Structure 1
Amino acid sequence: MSTDAAATGPRRTDRPLDEAGVVTAVRRAAERGATVRPTGTGAGAPGPLVRTDDVQLDASALTGVAEIVHDTVRVRGGETVADLCTALAADGRALAVVPDAPRATIAGATGLGMYGGAPGEGSLSDQVLAVRLVDGGGRVREVIGPDLDAARCGLGALGVITAVVLRTVPLRRLRVHEEAMPVAEVLGAGRLTRHAWTECDVAVHTGQAILRWADPESDEDVPPEPAGWGHAVSRLASSWWSSRSSWPPPQRWAPGTAGPPHEVLPDPQPWDPDLAEWAVPREGLGTVLRELGAAVAARGHELRPVRVRTGRAETGFLHPASGRDTAYLRIRTRGPAEEPVRRLACAVLEDAGGRPCWTTRHEWGPDELAVAYPGWAAFAEVRDRFDPDRRFTDPHLATVLGP
């Protein structure tokens, strides 16, 4: 199926119904000398990596769970994270990592390196055991072995992902908690790494934080507290935060909430074009937060609360956590008025050895990225084999990866 696109969007949109349709769409684009960018939906996809003014390949029909076997699942690339989690839960299984984008497709979530705040795990890309894709010549490839580390977080530059095999874990209910405290206490006590899931919102100019964590329920756990208790604790945390910061306290769920990971952990937010997110070495997190606070204070700025999560080192060549245990820092600003503080914060994170996350705004190109990623040359070699004619490279991706 295909439709014409408006002049401001893709020139053409192909919506294949199966893998054979993907092969046809890619070969047709090759015959016409066109480029192709895959996306999970026909509109509203976040970020320039999934936009094009040539051929957009909408893979939203490539859905469904093909097979759940023991501790793995084979799922089609267009299946959403939310639908996969629901299917796994019915079988008593779960994803080891649940990202904040339940409507993202599995191909998109893995291909862009989305993570989920599990300090003992990597991102969703790190759970990938095999990838099936259609390469730039319209050939179907089953990617395993050494090339898999290129396909784990491939940015859509290697081909159109039609299926992914992921590791799964037993489904367990998680109980979530929230507590306000100084960030020094969070870091000094190792609170960010000793739970199954953690996140922290930090007011860097005051050193105050709201820590959230979750652990599996056990048979000894007391029943959930009444809703009023949870909201009372949340109000106390909000009051404590507000007395120390001019920004309103970040809102999540009532402490004591419990449920399956995919129901209680994600914090889905509309895509924000001003959002910046950087991955820094985990051991330097305390220093980075102090330097952020000092930098904005010295220039009379105040930075909105910084969201902090952690994850383990990964093997994916282009994953922001490649080769090192990582802390992810999410910087939110609003419009041109806060552009100076965004640039300042990003400069501090860059100086700290940070790498920009692929789903958010950054200004890096191949020269900076080649220095930051030890697997850069290895990825380029796989890209040359999978897509020598750059069928999947549009002008924006060329500014990131090079021609």
Structure 2
Amino acid sequence: MIKSGRRWSNWSGIVKAKPHTVLYPSHIEEVVDVVKLCSAEGRTLRVVGSGHSFTAIAASNDVFLSLDRMQGILQLNKEAHTATVWAGTKIKKLGELLYSEGLAQENLGDIDVQSIAGAISTGTHGTGLKFGNLATQIIGITVVTGTGEVLDCSEQSHPDLFKALQISLGSLGIIVQVTLKLRTAYKLRYESSRTKLTDCLERLPELTANNRHFEFYWFPYADPCQIKTLNETDEPETSAKISDYVNDVLLENAALGALSSLCKRVPRLCAPVSRMIAAAFPTGVKVAQSHRAFATIRLVRFNEMEYNLPIEAMGDVVREMRETIEKRRYRVHFPIECRFAQADRIWLSPAYDRDSAYIAVHMYRGMPHENYFADMERIFLKYGGRPHWGKLHTLKTARLKEIYPMWDKFLEMRSRMDPEGIFLNPYLRNLFAL
């Protein structure tokens, strides 16, 4: 159960830690024992998943706890379309397990390597104005609190705690099980096309209204943008493994990786490389089971900032971002990703009480991102932006309590659930001003 002395870094390599102890529990009772031991010895504890957060939210030089041995479906109700699963279950594995039972999640993001608990705890989302973030699919949570108590929570049994737990940054307790509201398995028709960014922005109301899922990528210094849509279909699944490999691995990853290395060595090439990528981005149509259609292979590593914005601000924000990038001549060749989400009532959700647009900016790993991200963040905040909890941002409590209406209530709940601060690390103490 114990491994220690390891070095750890997140996916992009920007966050590093050397935990004193790494634990791999297999049962809830073992998680309870760990929490009680940490309490008795004055230790701190962070749950670590797949390392796909770009902030230091998971980092710890004390105790790491991995839920990798707590994966799989615990209980299934096909009639009610619900499943209770171990919180450490990776999203890709969960998709296949549910599909084998004829079920699926209603929406997913484009990365499927995270654990389900890690994904919901940081506010991971997909795209589509009829769908909230992944945490909105959760109808039950089992959590081990800072005192070692095991609580089964739902909106009916613990309404305030449940709304705090759905997106909790891992600061209220260790989520060990979740119950998901599901639907019958379904297929999606994925279509990728190119158009001018100006035309895309003019068509936003139509594109968001007429597609189950819609997102677009625009490229600094380039005219074309890529439009991606996903719509439910009864068409047969496409089988083109060779062309998919060429597009997904060779073009979107190997070629991007080679061009990114070139830009890192010769930064003045970023603008022409961005235009080259925009012109060459693969287009076409594929049909697949939903959990496979959502997922995108990401082999080229980068750092990322993402903000949620009022949906009506999307066009103005993109235009101001583009003007600033070109005026400041930022050395950037990665596309900007734009997605959409339905409003919810989760306390720390960036989409709290508003239908939302999400805009994510990226910089190839090892290239300087600080000034670029700072300028983009200033634009996001100007239009009422709220940060994605798993992505880079610079905000602290004073500003966060202004833009998250339930911020103070969340901090009160955190104090009750973890009075000794067992689940706090330096990053969270700084974020919460503790």
Asked if residue 126 in structure 1 is aligned to residue 139 in structure 2, the reply is no
C-alpha deviation, 1:48, in angstroms: 1.3
User: What residue is the counterpart of 2:414 in the other structure?
Assistant: 383
State how far apart, in whole Å, the 2-side matches of 1:188 and 1:262 are. Answer: 30
Deviates more, 1:295-304 or 1:388-397: 295-304
Asked if residue 174 in structure 1 is aligned to residue 205 in structure 2, the reply is no
**8 Å contact from structure 1 (residues 280, 353) kept in 2:** yes
State how far apart, in whole Å, the 2-side matches of 1:252 and 1:181 are. Answer: 12
| Residues 338 and 131 (structure 1), Cα distance of their counterparts in 2 relative to 1, 3 Å cut | closer
Q: Secondary structure at the match of 1:317?
A: coil
C-alpha deviation, 1:231, in angstroms: 11
User: What residue is the counterpart of 1:201 in the other structure?
Assistant: 217
C-alpha deviation, 1:210, in angstroms: 1.0
User: What residue is the counterpart of 2:153 in the other structure?
Assistant: 143
Q: Secondary structure at the match of 1:333?
A: strand
The amino acid across from 1:116 in the alignment is G
The 5 Å alignment of 1:34-45 reads 34-40=43-49
C-alpha deviation, 1:342, in angstroms: 2.4
Asked if residue 368 in structure 1 is aligned to residue 378 in structure 2, the reply is no
Poorly superposed stretches of 4+, deviation over 6 Å: 225-234, 250-253
- What root-mean-square deviation, in Å, do the aligned CA atoms of Structure 1 and Structure 2 show? 2.9
C-alpha deviation, 1:35, in angstroms: 0.7
Q: Secondary structure at the match of 2:277?
A: coil
State how far apart, in whole Å, the 1-side matches of 2:35 and 2:382 are. Answer: 41
Q: Indicate which of 258, 275, 278 corresponds to 1:246.
A: 275
| Residues 269 and 399 (structure 1), Cα distance of their counterparts in 2 relative to 1, 3 Å cut | farther
User: What residue is the counterpart of 2:208 in the other structure?
Assistant: 192
User: What residue is the counterpart of 2:75 in the other structure?
Assistant: 67
User: What residue is the counterpart of 2:5 in the other structure?
Assistant: 5
Q: Secondary structure at the match of 2:207?
A: coil
| Residues 368 and 92 (structure 1), Cα distance of their counterparts in 2 relative to 1, 3 Å cut | same
| Residues 299 and 173 (structure 1), Cα distance of their counterparts in 2 relative to 1, 3 Å cut | same
The amino acid across from 1:36 in the alignment is L
Q: Indicate which of 173, 176, 181 corresponds to 1:162.
A: 176
State how far apart, in whole Å, the 1-side matches of 2:25 and 2:240 are. Answer: 49
**8 Å contact from structure 1 (residues 233, 255) kept in 2:** no
**8 Å contact from structure 1 (residues 129, 165) kept in 2:** yes
Q: Indicate which of 32, 39, 63 corresponds to 2:41.
A: 32
State how far apart, in whole Å, the 2-side matches of 1:226 and 1:101 are. Answer: 21
For structure 2, the residue ranges without an aligned partner over 5 or more in a row are 8-16, 249-270
Asked if residue 85 in structure 1 is aligned to residue 102 in structure 2, the reply is no
**8 Å contact from structure 2 (residues 121, 168) kept in 1:** yes
C-alpha deviation, 1:230, in angstroms: 9.7
User: What residue is the counterpart of 1:98 in the other structure?
Assistant: 108
Q: Indicate which of 21, 43, 46 corresponds to 2:30.
A: 21
State how far apart, in whole Å, the 2-side matches of 1:261 and 1:152 are. Answer: 23
C-alpha deviation, 1:402, in angstroms: 2.6
Q: Secondary structure at the match of 2:141?
A: strand
State how far apart, in whole Å, the 1-side matches of 2:52 and 2:348 are. Answer: 25
Number of equivalences: 394
| Residues 169 and 253 (structure 1), Cα distance of their counterparts in 2 relative to 1, 3 Å cut | farther
Superposed CA offset, 1:15-74 (max 9, x none): 111000000000000000111101236x88764111101111111111110112122111
State how far apart, in whole Å, the 1-side matches of 2:119 and 2:166 are. Answer: 10
**8 Å contact from structure 2 (residues 302, 362) kept in 1:** no
State how far apart, in whole Å, the 2-side matches of 1:46 and 1:111 are. Answer: 14
Superposed CA offset, 1:358-378 (max 9, x none): 111111111111111011112
Q: Indicate which of 351, 359, 362 corresponds to 2:382.
A: 351
Superposed CA offset, 1:87-127 (max 9, x none): 11112111111123312111101111111123310111111
What is the TM-score when the length of structure 2 is the normalising length? 0.83
**8 Å contact from structure 1 (residues 182, 208) kept in 2:** yes
User: What residue is the counterpart of 2:66 in the other structure?
Assistant: 58
**8 Å contact from structure 1 (residues 252, 267) kept in 2:** no
C-alpha deviation, 1:340, in angstroms: 2.5
Q: Secondary structure at the match of 1:150?
A: helix
User: What residue is the counterpart of 1:237 in the other structure?
Assistant: none
User: What residue is the counterpart of 1:269 in the other structure?
Assistant: 298
User: What residue is the counterpart of 1:287 in the other structure?
Assistant: 316
**8 Å contact from structure 2 (residues 87, 177) kept in 1:** yes
C-alpha deviation, 1:153, in angstroms: 0.5
**8 Å contact from structure 1 (residues 37, 392) kept in 2:** yes
| Residues 249 and 139 (structure 1), Cα distance of their counterparts in 2 relative to 1, 3 Å cut | same
What is the TM-score when the length of structure 1 is the normalising length? 0.89
